[in-house]
A and B are shown apart, each in its own frame.
Chain A
Amino acid sequence: MNTTKIVFIGAGSMSFGLAMFKDIFSSQELSGSTLTLVDINRQNLECMTRLAEQMNQHSGAGLKIEAVTNWKEALPGAGFVINSTAIDRNRLWKLDFEVPKKYGIRHTLGENGGPGGLFFTLRTIPLVMDIVRDMEALCPQAVFINFSNPESRIILAVGKYSPVRCIGLCHGVFMAKNDVAQIMGLPPERLDVSAAGLNHFQWLLSIRDRHTGEDLYPLLFEKEKNFDPGFMPVTRRLLRAFKKYPSCSDDHSGEYLAYGWEGGEEGYDFEEDEVGRKALHEFVEQILAGEEPLPEAWFGPSGERGVAVITGMLHNQHAAIESGVIYNQGAIPNLPADLAVEVPVMVDAAGVHPVSLGPLPDGIAKLLHMQAGVQQLAVKAAMHASKELALQALLIDPVVNSAAAAEKILDELWEVNKPYIRKCI
């Protein structure tokens, strides 16, 4: 069996780390491979390393587990580098959400689009480029698999500024699939969807019955008419206007729309996130102390596709992956080549092969074009550490409804993020 070395940077993040572990340790195809966990938080790293060792032993997956706090030590010999890092995630995200709101911006999450998305980009890109530059030197053949947000902007930066092979993964397409299944009253596993667009704004170009091949769009349109009007109202307005269903939910897609706030403005539930995080941490501690057994559910699929990409490439499986974020270069011919887009991909030993579903319907392409400019400018601002470009990125963003507010937001959040912003070109 072919073996590899997987470096998992940001492995101390417990909920996402656990998702990866579920797939890694329920796979029989990584036996003999090395999993190197990396996190700057020594305590979390140790906890996750012990969990990995237990799960490895329990499942017999047969990996070698290592742990280091500095990724430079981990990279030599790596075949795959998984990134799930975030800088002081909830504290800074909260500011990304609240500061624009204070100046009158109406937005949904403040994470991947709008002013929040800009500052998230400004502080994250330098960190990502540090990792990628080290990969260029220490493991130039390795594949960078990104799970961190802002997903599109990270893949755009890596695709544009580095020769390192990269793919971004997100479960957004499955959220959309579940939602349309719910509307139609069908089990989601019965559906086969083909989607293309931007991350968190992929359009289901086809929805079919996996068994019969039947086109289910007519059924969706029919059932949608009488479905709970409170469910994904903005997404469904787009469905009715553009005739295709956009992923992945009102709050995520809403970040790219001037009218996205109509789907709700409550933002991310940081409190619940903290509660869940704490509970999971305590539970893991109990497992490590031998007070609780490893739940069987932790040895089944997580719903993420990271491990499928790794085993597909490692074992040359020509594996069809429902969705991957890639540097466009023609995969969606009527969007700019210089953009991160999300399309189905096929992976094998030769690499990641995007599947072009052809040009997007014209209206949808034009809607995405607006966001393309925002993403390009935001990444450029981050790469050059340019406050001037950052202001331009704000002023072309459809979520920004006031130039005066944009200036104030920029001054306030630039100061907050200053410690992380640096030129990386």
Chain B
Amino acid sequence: MLPTKIVVIGAGSASFGLNTLGALMRSKKLAGSELALVDMNAETLAIVRRLAERLNREWEAKLTITSYTRHQDALPGAQFVVSAIEVPPRERLWRMDWEIPLRHGVRQPYAENGGPGGFAHACRNIGPVLQIAHDMEQACPEAWFINYTNPMVRICDAIHRYSKIKAIGLCHQIFAGYGMVGYLLADKFGLERPADMHRYWEFSHQATQFLDIKAAGLNHFTWMLDVRDRRTGEDLYPLVRERWAQADPAFQPLTRRVLDAFGWMPIPADGHLCEYLPWVSDSATKPWEKYDLHLYDWDAAEKGRDEGHKQIALLGEGKQSIARLKKADSEGALEMIEAIAGAGNHYHLAVNLPNDGQITNLPTGAIVETPGLISGWGARGFPIGDMPESVAELLRQELARVRLSVDAAATGDRQAALQCLLLDPVIRDIETAKAVLDDYLTSYRQHLPQFWQ
């Protein structure tokens, strides 16, 4: 493979940065390439750079490592820009995304990618993401933007419709589906089921050895269209349905009900599934109690982040073993870069790309998630035809909100913003929508200059 140039923006992020670094630097094909690390926090950047240099030395990766606090300085000549930026402080802002509507009587189940929280989250991140994309138009117009920032669908839609850059969104959420099905079918494959049913996710890696799942829809809102025994090719959908019916009622109760009602299993598990559904926010019936839906643990995540940075520092200073990084999961960036730059043929379980025929009953151009093939030609999603019509309608409703929030975020159009909230099933009243919007825009004024010009 010819040497390439990869820019990693947000390289200081405790989990993303570490995993991406581990994955890219163990590659045998990237030797001779440049890895440009970017983080606006000079301190964390220095720590990550030290670790990168250690990996380069000890693993003989033969990469050229550079680092920048401004992405503009890193972009010239880049072929791949890997980004997981997040306007900080992530946990505190996310908590506010949830709390602000609550002040107006609107209780969301999760508030990250859908609902009013998804709107606010998208508005904050789209500005900086589009800044990168527009700088790429000048510095490296042919480069791929590999996005990990949430809300995935909205971020990719913004890049697709408001810049000339080609973007692909990668996400590991399909492994929640592997974990759930693996948990349900554990005995069939001779696996021991974890005692705690909430730890099904730990099963996902093992499950991929036995299962083969195809899912499509929107990111964090995909649906299992096909599930097979990886080795024999046997169709396991009938068995999966049977096992859901027999499973402990406390196991992913929302997913189970949606499967019963719609006939197809949602992939993302209850935690994310609830973000897009109209039936989980009624304060009178409190469905989040019925379905045992938990909010994100913001405090724990914040602590984990600090801990993560300490770990990176220890790794960089040679005080901890780097062996575990050999198994780091880049969530697809490595495979994508090697397949495109090296003319490979890589089957990827889930790629987020503009719809130009992958899903025939969703709007053209909408960002859809399907299995895909990544090759020298680029990343392409498989055409899967129509989604089941009732499911497609749920997806189209979310896509309407996606489009409005992206238009609002990209242009500062307050009317589009209001319409986005009014199309949200969590909101039942026009005045409430206006109050939530005003509160968001005022509280986040420093992050949302586009609405204040």
Contacts and interface: CB of A to CB of B under 8 A. Distances in A.
B216 to A, nearest CB: 11
Contacts of A358: 356, 380
Contacts of B228: 316, 349-350
A211 interface: yes
Nearest to B339: A213
B383 A316 contact: no
Interface in B201-237: 212, 214, 226, 228-234
Nearest to A215: B376
A320 B373 contact: yes
B385 interface: yes
A407 to B, nearest CB: 40
A357 B385 contact: no
B357 interface: yes
A142 interface: no
Given A318-B347, A329-B383, A206 B233 contact: no
Contact of B357 (A316, A320, A333, A353): A333
B383 A213 contact: no
B364 to A, nearest CB: 8
Contacts of B340: 213
Given A316-B212, A316-B231, A208 B376 contact: yes
B381 interface: yes
A346 B383 contact: no
Interface in A347-369: 348-350, 353-359
Contact of B232 (A2, A318, A331, A357): A2
Nearest to B29: A213
Contact of A210 (B231, B343, B380, B381): B343
Interface in B339-359: 340-343, 345, 347, 356-358
B336 to A, nearest CB: 13
A348 B226 CA distance: 12
A350 B343 CA distance: 25
B2 to A, nearest CB: 4
A313 B373 CA distance: 17
Nearest to B228: A349
B360 A330 contact: yes
Contact of B343 (A205, A213, A331, A359): A213
B382 A355 contact: yes
B230 A354 contact: no
Interface in B371-419: 371, 373, 375-377, 380-383, 385
B377 A194 contact: yes
Contacts of A118: none
A306 B230 CA distance: 22
A212 interface: yes
Contacts of B229: 316
Contacts of B380: 355-358
Contact of B376 (A213, A333, A353): A213
A179 interface: no
A206 B377 contact: yes
A350 B2 CA distance: 35
B377 A357 contact: yes
Contact of B383 (A2, A211, A331, A359): A331
Interface string A336-352: 00000000101011100
B140 interface: no
Given A330-B383, A356-B381, A192 B373 contact: no
A209 B343 CA distance: 7
A38 B234 CA distance: 28
A137 B228 CA distance: 25
Contacts of B347: 318, 320, 346
For B230, B341, B357, B358, the residue with the greatest tally of chain A CB atoms inside 10 Å of its CB is B357
A314 interface: yes
Nearest to B373: A355
Interface string A191-213: 01010000000000110111111
A211 B381 CA distance: 24
B377 A316 contact: no
Majority secondary structure, A binding face: loop
B381 A205 contact: no
B1 to A, nearest CB: 5
A266 interface: no
B235 to A, nearest CB: 8
Given A211-B1, A349-B228, A313 B377 contact: no
A401 B376 CA distance: 41
Contacts of A212: 1-2, 342-343
A223 B187 CA distance: 61
Interface residues of A, number: 34
B302 to A, nearest CB: 40
A214 interface: yes
Contacts of B373: 320, 344, 346, 355
Contacts of A331: 357, 383
Contacts of B1: 211-213
Contacts of A209: 343
Interface in A163-222: 192, 194, 205-206, 208-214
B212 A349 contact: yes
A359 B382 contact: no
B358 A213 contact: no
B385 A330 contact: yes
Contacts of B360: 329-330
Contacts of A350: 212, 214, 226, 228, 233
B233 A313 contact: yes
A137 B178 CA distance: 35
A331 B360 CA distance: 10
B178 to A, nearest CB: 15
B233 A349 contact: yes
B367 to A, nearest CB: 15
A214 B233 contact: no
Contacts of A194: 375-377
A208 B344 CA distance: 10
A333 B343 contact: no
A357 B345 CA distance: 13
B233 A356 contact: no
A136 to B, nearest CB: 19
A23 B61 CA distance: 39
Contacts of A349: 212, 228, 232-234
Contact of A348 (B212, B343, B345): B212
Interface string B408-450: 0000000000000000000000000000000000000000000
Contacts of B356: 333, 356, 358-359
Given A206-B377, A329-B360, A355-B373, A213 B342 contact: yes
B177 to A, nearest CB: 15
B2 A213 contact: yes
B357 A330 contact: yes
A78 to B, nearest CB: 16
Nearest to B382: A353
Nearest to A330: B357
A192 B343 contact: yes
The 9 tightest CB contacts between A and B, nearest first, are A349-B233, A330-B357, A320-B345, A194-B377, A192-B343, A333-B357, A208-B376, A208-B343, A212-B2
Interface of A: 2, 192, 194, 205-206, 208-214, 313-316, 318, 320, 329-331, 333, 344, 346, 348-350, 353-359
6 contacts: A194-B376, A194-B377, A350-B226, A353-B383, A356-B357, A358-B380
Given A194-B375, A213-B341, A314-B233, 19 more contacts: A209-B343, A210-B343, A213-B342, A213-B343, A214-B2, A316-B228, A316-B230, A320-B347, A329-B360, A330-B385, A331-B357, A344-B373, A346-B373, A349-B233, A353-B382, A354-B383, A356-B357, A356-B380, A356-B383
